Amino acid sequence: MWPFVLALVLAFAYFHADQPLRFNFIFTLKAKYLAAIYLLFYLGAALIGGDRFGALVALSNALCGYVYLRLAPRRSIKTTASEKWFGLRNAYIRAKRRRAAKKFTVYMRKQGSDVNIDPSGRYIDPDEKSRNPNDRTWLN
């Protein structure tokens, strides 16, 4: 068997663990059990078999495939990079909004009016006490 096939079997078992697989129309086996059988076979071949190098290559391919499935971004790499960029931009904008809110409260205190601002820099209307300040759908 080629070494990369174990990685493919593990990937299939990762996404479709309870999917039954049928062999020669005789017996069925769930994908997770098939992956476990292959892993045990290659582990046994690496420990006591004659082709130890081939078994270690297959096991390392399977390990790399599993680590990739666990750590890979759910979207494309381009989308992940842009999300980090926009996250930095949004953090900068939120910091600017908090700074502007502090200046606004100082200005309104000088005018003789008390203004309520939540920690993220959004204005809290004093007439509507029932509004939740953590509600992200409401933004001034």
pLDDT at 10: 87
**Which parts of the chain register pLDDT below 70?**
1, 73-81, 120, 126-140
What is the model's pTM?
A: 0.49
Contacts with 43 (C-beta within 8 Å, 6 or more apart), sequence order: 55, 59
pLDDT at 54: 84
pLDDT at 42: 86
Domain layout of the chain by residue ranges: 3-71, 77-124
pLDDT at 127: 67
Whole-angstrom distance, CA of residue 78 vs CA of residue 90: 18
